[in-house]
Amino acid sequence: MVSRVEIHPGRYHDSVRLMQASKALQDVPGVTDALVAMATELNLSLLADMGFDMEATTSAGPNDLLLAVRADNDDTIATAHRVLDDALTHRAAADSGLTVPQPRTVGTAADVNGANIVLLSVPGEHAFVEAMEALEGGRHVMIFSDNVPVSQEVILKQRGVERGLLVMGPDCGTAIVNGLGLGFANAVHPGPVGIVGASGTGIQQVCSLLDDAGVGVRHALGTGSHDLSEEVGAIATLQALAALDADPAVEVIALISKPPAASVAARVRAAAAGCSKPVVVIFMGESTLEDGAAEVLALMDKQQTALSWPTDQDDHRRGTVRGLFSGGTLRDEARFVAMPVLGPIGTKELDSITRRNSDHTFIDYGDDEYTKGRAHPMIDQTVRIDRLEEVAVDADVGVILMDVVLGYGANADPAAELVPAITKAVASGAAVVVSLCGTQRDPQDRDRQAKTLQAAGASVWLSNAAAARQAARLATGG
């Protein structure tokens, strides 16, 4: 065992750096004790406590550097000197600039860019706190998340009214504000139409039909699927309606919802009737998105385009119609259109094991029970493709009807993924009818998507109702 005590007069380092240096020395293999410090009275007494020879320190003062090492041999002492020099001269690489920490709450994130809209897709149980913070900060909110308790939705929307802020959602899939799509939204031209919608795919379908007829959309304000329920009482719908009525750039308003509660429907109709501008009310189950879009177009002196990419599919095999949808509202519209022709249409798989269905069945694969643990079918088509492949070889099924929804947020190339299964279905004798919801400027290139699907043997329709009529016609041989 060797020990060494050295004094380096006038060599000053701050105490933190010296403590780091002491630690570095203590970590050298073979070193049993080490102290690097300014030779203050305190440190000299520490040195004495550690049992070092104090002889070298008699004239040392607080401006002198003290080094003491006890080690197994002289080589270790030499190593310790090198480590000490490194520790006392080392400088961390210069940082090029400040990395600001990532915001952890939407409030902070919104402060960064002065956001006027907060878009939330956190798990539904946590959305309320974040949304309330956004409202307290004077920001509008779109809540994409589902599974937010309706009692919280009511509080949020009441707070929104108090503050003059719009709460879109919960379960709001689509909005377009001044041309910017939020959630699942299509690239529309700016124009004179304002849309209020409790249904995301309903908004997308109407946008697509209007856009193709050359009529643009100024705003599409989603309200969330529960807004027209008895409990919520259409709070956001009424707010949005009034706001669009007050917007001088809006000429015609379309209001879209699944069937609302009766009392709520009356209140909404009254508000619509009280607007200074024409309001086309589309309550699913009473009318269709297609009819609603046509009514809006008529008010603008325009006509629906009835765009389609047809295929001769009259000699398909006979059988039931199986609807494989990703949009709930599109499923509802198709069912509403096809039911008078086909008779009863189921909405559930009758037997979840065999997935056999004796009758016509239209299923919404965007429903909660199919999306657990995976993304929405507008993004991840795996489940729908699996079903398509099964149905393709099901001799009971004659016609397969499906929607493909394009736009921001949706699958980048859905047609390419669907082609193998469609080809297989057509080869086995089934007819495949596709309702293609999108605009020309959507990032997926709508016309290319349509032609790819058409080339695989499907008939493709821009109007979901038109696709449903085609499916019904094929099934009844009409």
Partner 1 sequence: MRHITDLLDNEPVVATAGTDMLAAAIEQQGAAVSRAEWRPPVAGSETALAKLAADGRMEEANRTAIARMLAVRPHLVDVGVARDVFTDMTDRTLFHAGPPLEWERASGPMQGAIIGAMLYEGLAADPDDAAVRAARGEIELSPCHHHGAVGPMAGVTSPSMPVAIVEDAAGDGVSYSTLNEGLGKVLRYGAFAPEVIDRLRWMDRVLGPVLGAALRRRGPIDLQSLIAQALQMGDDGHNRNRAVTSLFLREIGAVLIDGTEAPVEQRRSVFEFIDGNDHFMLNLVMAAGKLGSDAAAGVTASSLVTVMARNGTDFGVRLSGTGDRWFTAPAPPVDGLYLGGYTEEDASPDIGDSTITETVGLGGFAMAAAPAIVGFVGGTASNAIQRTLAMYEITMAEHPAYQIPPLEFRGTPVGIDAARVVRTGVRPQINTGVAGKVPGTGMVGAGLVEAPMECFTDAINALADSL
Stretch of 205-213, 234-242, 308-316, 356-364 contacting partner 1, by CB under 8 A? 234-242
Residue placing its CB nearer to partner 1 in the complex, 45 or 263: 45
Residue 57 DSSP class: G
Cβ burial of 276 (10 Å; 0-12, 13-18, 19+) is exposed
Q: Note the helical H segments in 300-413.
A: 328-342, 368-371, 382-392
Give residues 240-269 in contact with partner 1 (rule: CB under 8 A). Answer: 240, 242-244, 246-247
CA distance between the termini of the chain: 104
Q: Note the helical H segments in 145-195.
A: 150-163
Tokens read off for 97: 């600039």
Stretch of 105-113, 276-284, 388-396, 469-477 contacting partner 1, by CB under 8 A? 105-113
Backbone dihedral angles phi then psi of residue 383, each to the nearest 5 degrees? -65, -45
Q: Does 275 bind partner 1 (CB under 8 A)?
A: no
Q: Does 1 bind partner 1 (CB under 8 A)?
A: no
Gap between the Cα atoms of 306 and 228, Å rounded: 30
Q: Does 88 bind partner 1 (CB under 8 A)?
A: no
Tokens read off for 294: 């046509």
3-state SS assignment for residue 411: coil
Task: Report how many residues bind partner 1 under the rule CB under 8 A.
Answer: 86
Binding mask 180-209 for partner 1 (x = CB under 8 A): xxxx-x-x----------------------
Binding mask 12-31 for partner 1 (x = CB under 8 A): --x-xx-xx-xx--------
Residue placing its CB nearer to partner 1 in the complex, 149 or 214: 149
Stretch of 121-129, 289-297, 345-353, 381-389 contacting partner 1, by CB under 8 A? 121-129
Q: Does 409 bind partner 1 (CB under 8 A)?
A: yes
Give residues 286-325 in contact with partner 1 (rule: CB under 8 A). Answer: none
Give residues 375-394 in contact with partner 1 (rule: CB under 8 A). Answer: 375, 379
Position among 56, 109, 265, 275 found at the interface with partner 1 (CB under 8 A): 109
Gap between the Cα atoms of 375 and 121, Å rounded: 12
Position among 10, 101, 340, 478 found at the interface with partner 1 (CB under 8 A): 101
Tokens read off for 12: 């000053």
Residue placing its CB nearer to partner 1 in the complex, 254 or 363: 254
Q: Does 116 bind partner 1 (CB under 8 A)?
A: yes
**Nearest Cα residue to 313 out of 464, 422, 458, 450:** 458
Residue placing its CB nearer to partner 1 in the complex, 358 or 382: 382
**Nearest Cα residue to 330 out of 406, 432, 399, 232:** 406
Position among 126, 348, 356, 448 found at the interface with partner 1 (CB under 8 A): 126
Long-range CB pairs of 269-272 (<8 Å, 24+ gap) are 271/238, 271/241, 271/242, 272/241
**Nearest Cα residue to 293 out of 365, 363, 188, 166:** 188
Q: Does 271 bind partner 1 (CB under 8 A)?
A: no
Give residues 41-80 in contact with partner 1 (rule: CB under 8 A). Answer: 41-43, 45-47, 49-50
Position among 106, 296, 401, 404 found at the interface with partner 1 (CB under 8 A): 106
Give residues 412-471 in contact with partner 1 (rule: CB under 8 A). Answer: 443
Q: Does 223 bind partner 1 (CB under 8 A)?
A: no
Tokens read off for 324: 């494989």
